[in-house]
Amino acid sequence: MGSKKSAVKKRRLASAAKSAKPVPIFVRLKTGRRVSTNPKRRHWRSKKLRAREKE
């Protein structure tokens, strides 16, 4: 992808990048390892985002 992105697309990509992180260690410890995985985790290569905006 090029560096010329609209503000809407940039915000969407930033939000997706933030949400694709693993569960923090303190959450695992606090819940006694009941919560260990993030079900919405996304890998950049295997699962793509839906494109809503025309480029």
List, run by run, the mean pLDDT of 10-residue segments along the chain (55 residues).
83 92 95 93 90 63
What are the structural domain ranges in the chain?
A: 1-50
- Give 1-50's CATH code, choosing from 1.10.1620.10, 3.60.21.10, 1.10.150.450, 3.90.78.10: 1.10.1620.10
pLDDT at 36: 93
Q: How far is 15 from 30, CA to CA, in rounded Å?
A: 26
pLDDT at 1: 55
Q: How far is 49 from 26, CA to CA, in rounded Å?
A: 29
| b/e map 15-37, b = 16+ CB within 10 Å | eeeeeeeeeeeeeeeeeeeeeee
> What pLDDT, in 10s, does the model give residues 11-26?
999 999 999 999 999 9
